[in-house]
Amino acid sequence: MKVIALNGSPRPIGNTTNILNEMQDEFEREGIEFEIVHLYNYSFVNCNVCMTCEIRGDGRCMDEDDGLNELLDVLRAADGIVLASPTYAGACPSVMQTFLERAALVYEKGDRGLTGKVGGALAVCGHDGADHVYDQLVRFMLRNGMLVCGSTPLPVIRALNSPQYSDDVLGMRGVHALVKGMVDTIMRLNGYA
């Protein structure tokens, strides 16, 4: 069993990355492999809504050179997906936004490759906007037919500079609850409950 986490932060060592590292420890203690994919390693081409993905219908984008198709295949093979993003100007950073736009269209017009996957989202902000980012990530998962795990409190973390994330006790409680919910759901779906 495997969970893929997409890190939408352009910072290699920031709050979002550190939170994902903590999540990795928790998932792996439960016997679930956890891999973090840093979107800052990609230079995604913007979607121009050419609709070639619909014409092809094979779950691939016509832009074959930026790594998106390979990443979409990695997500198709996962049991669970975590979308994690900081908040920049009240929304997802551009690399996460571009990924969401392209992936949504390719999956929707292609093979619906995320249907039934277990999903979870977390958002980080210095002051405001994290609720909007969290909602955007969750809506992406719902549109793709994923089983989205919630948590109480929500995994919305208030932190500006790393490692301030650890000061948000409630937000981190939400992260831990999200991991537990995802582990329980993945185990049940794989016949271990």
Which of 69-73, 93-97, 126-130, 154-158 is the least confident region? 126-130
The answer to whether the beta carbons of residues 6 and 83 sit under 8 Å apart is: yes
pLDDT in tens, 121-152: 999 999 899 999 999 999 999 999 999 999 99
Total domains in the fold of the chain: 1
- Per-residue model confidence (pLDDT) at position 98: 96
CA-CA distance, 53 to 56, in Å (whole number)?
5
Residue 86, pLDDT above cutoff 80: yes
Average pLDDT along the chain: 95
Give whole-number Cα distances, 55 to 28, 69, 98, 143, in Å. 40, 16, 21, 20
The answer to whether the beta carbons of residues 118 and 80 sit under 8 Å apart is: yes
Residue 79, pLDDT above cutoff 80: yes
Question: Can you give 58-116 as a three-state secondary structure string?
Answer: CCCCCCCCCCHHHHHHHHHHCCEEEEEEECECCECCHHHHHHHHHHHHHHHHCCCCCCC
Give the domain extent around 66.
2-189
Tally Cβ neighbours within 10 Å of residue 77: 10
pLDDT in tens, 15-73: 999 999 999 999 999 999 999 999 999 999 999 999 998 998 888 999 989 999 999 99
Q: CA Rg, the chain, in Å?
A: 16
What three-state secondary structure class fits 148? Answer: strand
More confident residue, 109 or 75: 75
We report the CATH number of the domain holding residue 102 as 3.40.50.360
CA-CA distance, 169 to 184, in Å (whole number)?
23
Whose CA is closest to 137, among 158, 153, 121, 155? 121
What pTM value is reported for the model? 0.97
